[in-house]
Amino acid sequence: MTEERDPHTMTRRQLMRHSAWFGAAVVLTVAGGEVLSHVAGLAGTAGAAAPAARPALRFAQISDSHIGFTGTANANVTDTFTEAINQVNGLGYQPDFVIHTGDLTHLATPDQFDQVKQMMTGLNTPHIFTVPGEHDSIDDGGQKYRQAFGAGTRGDGWYSFDTAGVHVIGLVNTLNMTKLGHLGTDQLDFIQKDVAPLSSDTPIVVFSHIPLFAMYPDWGWGTDDATQALSYLRRFSSVTCLNGHVHQLFTKTEGNITFHSGTTTAYPLPHPGDGPAPKPLTLPAGKLHDALGIREVTYTKGQQALALKEQTLA
Amino acid sequence: MFRPHRSLTALPAGAVAIAAILLVSGCSGSSPTPQGSPSINFGSQASTTPGMPGHSAAGPTTVTPVDTASPTVAPAAVSGPAVSITNFAFTPATLTVPVGATVTWTNRDEEPHVIAANDGSFHSPGLGTNSTYSFTFPTAGSFDYICSIHPFMHGTVVVTK
């Protein structure tokens, strides 16, 4: 089921907003119009805790750039990806890292990998992470992807790291598919061992291209062995799974695990089941940018949930 | 069941707003946290780190889009048995041909597709829009195939003696 709004949250939110307005002039000077959407989760004792000047971690997600796509749905995916990069660079702070959640390329050609890699070096961030999409592993089991982006990864390209008290896992679920996305036993073992030593209050962030929840299996929008992977993560108090693939925003919560499908920088896809197939949608002139975007994610110590903010392409 | 996520973006004012007030008005007893990026620890993983450095680590770079847009190729006229790929479906879904026939698939979707036999006997490269792939069937039998990137797409070639 999707998230229900908690009336108590609303109340507290209103209270918080009221508090904010108490010093409104200052707030507006400092943070402009950004403030109202910056903090998504007010869980825990955030309201009472001494606030930090800067979130412990803030990163940006971009996805599904499909470099090499030609078609009416987007006449120039290179331009829109450049705009997305510029938008990340214009956030007003330097993200601690940027994650690209796959379908970097459209057809996994060496030229397309070179191009997307070169473009991403323009991101103003210390570090860029990626996971492959099925378009990046179209005909070679992900070999060319790993050649371009697989340095330092394990297995078929998965990895994990710790930063600012958050444990981050990058997964590969676009190989050996029979209908849905697939992780495979090696990767499942990796996840199990990877999180075993962690304390249950460690916030977990998981990147994958294909959703780890059943968003729409008839179109392959799910992962057949995700349940196994998620079983290793259920004991953690906060698990945030970020994916691409579906080219649209969607959120679903299962207990402590929240799934967030991100949008694309290339072209929209239909809503689940809307039409015969997940084929690129050509929007009326002038509407494309509203369907494309980038995502900001912040983690503030003391808050259980990570905060997400979506931005459409300007 | 499916609910647009966009409404989540209208999320509450909160700690950041308060932080801004306290910080600027000097009411906060706590000192600001350092502005630098948190370190990233790859644990006992490989000596090389996953991912790649961005601009701030690599020094200034200019993003120069490379125009690789290729002209749309008109599909070549296909003679002989043919399967068309439209709307993520093979048409006909089942094609019957005699031994020795060459079947040609044409991708008419904007999405790429890959023809992959379940038994591994044939496997196309990624087919962009209007690209074709041909395979000659040397033996009789029923050959099921899928699109390996959209494995919910199924087709069969029945080869008769």
Greater pLDDT, A132 or A15: A132
What residues pair up with B89 in beta bridges, in sequence order?
A: B86
pLDDT at B45: 54
* Cβ-defined contact of B151 to A36 (cutoff 8 Å): no
Q: Provide the phi-psi class of B43: left if phi over 0, else alpha when psi is between -120 and 50, else beta.
A: left
CB neighbourhood size of A311 (10 A): 19
| Helix residue spans in A196-273 (DSSP H) | 226-231
Overall average pLDDT of the A300-312 stretch: 92
What percent of chain A is modeled with pLDDT above 70? 83
Q: How many CB pairs under 8 A join A and B?
A: 309
B65 → chain A, closest CA residue: A78
* Cβ-defined contact of A277 to B128 (cutoff 8 Å): no
Query: Quick check: A273 pLDDT over 60?
Result: yes
* Cβ-defined contact of B15 to A280 (cutoff 8 Å): no
In order, the DSSP letters of A121-187 are: TTS-SS-EEE---GGGGSSSTTHHHHHHH-TT-BTTTBEEEEETTEEEEE---BSS-SSSBB--HHH
Overall average pLDDT of the A11-34 stretch: 33
Query: Quick check: A306 pLDDT over 90?
Result: yes
Chain B neighbours among A 256-295 (CB < 8 Å)? 260-261, 271-272, 276-280
User: Which of B29, B148, B155 has its CA nearest to residue B82?
Assistant: B155
Residues A230/A259, Cβ–Cβ less than 8 Å:
no
Query: Quick check: A281 pLDDT over 80?
Result: yes
The shortest CB-CB distance from A122 to any of B1, B55, B125 is to B55
pTM above 0.90, yes or no: no
pLDDT at A192: 98
User: What's the longest Cα–Cα distance across chain A?
Assistant: 59
pLDDT by residue, tens only, chain B of 161 residues: 444 444 444 444 444 444 444 344 433 333 334 457 788 888 755 556 889 988 776 444 444 444 444 444 555 567 799 999 999 999 999 999 999 999 999 999 988 999 999 999 999 999 998 999 999 999 999 999 999 889 999 999 999 99
* Cβ-defined contact of B70 to A30 (cutoff 8 Å): no
* Cβ-defined contact of B24 to A134 (cutoff 8 Å): no
Query: Quick check: A310 pLDDT over 50?
Result: yes
User: Could you report the per-residue pLDDT of A61-95, keeping only the tens digit for each?
Assistant: 999 999 999 889 999 999 999 999 999 999 999 99
The shortest CB-CB distance from A70 to any of B15, B20, B70 is to B70
Hey, what are A14's tokens? 């209103």
The answer to whether ipTM exceeds 0.85 is no
* Chain B nearest C-alpha distance from A55 (Å): 9
pLDDT at B110: 86
* Chain A nearest C-alpha distance from B51 (Å): 4
Query: Quick check: A44 pLDDT over 60?
Result: no
pLDDT at A54: 85
The shortest CB-CB distance from A278 to any of B12, B64, B88 is to B88
pLDDT at A30: 25
* Cβ-defined contact of A122 to B63 (cutoff 8 Å): yes
Least confident interval from A31-35, A178-182, A204-208: A31-35
Contact residues, chain B, for A150 at CB < 8 Å: 50
Ranges assigned E (strand) in A78-134? 97-100, 128-130
State whether residue A235 sits within 8 Å of chain B by CB.
Answer: no
A307 → chain B, closest CA residue: B11
Query: Quick check: A46 pLDDT over 60?
Result: no
* Cβ-defined contact of B49 to A51 (cutoff 8 Å): no
State whether residue A154 sits within 8 Å of chain B by CB.
Answer: yes
* Average pLDDT in chain A: 86
Torsion of CA B73, B79, B83, B85, to 10 degrees: 20
User: Could you report the per-residue pLDDT of A152-204, keeping only the tens digit for each?
Assistant: 999 999 999 999 999 999 999 999 998 899 999 999 999 999 999 999 999 99
| Residues whose CB falls within 8 Å of the CB of residue A246, separated by 6 or more in sequence, listed in order | A211, A215, A216, A221, A261, A269, A272, A278
* Cβ-defined contact of B15 to A82 (cutoff 8 Å): no
* Chain A nearest C-alpha distance from B122 (Å): 12
* H or E stretch at B145: strand B141-147
The shortest CB-CB distance from B40 to any of A161, A218, A303 is to A161
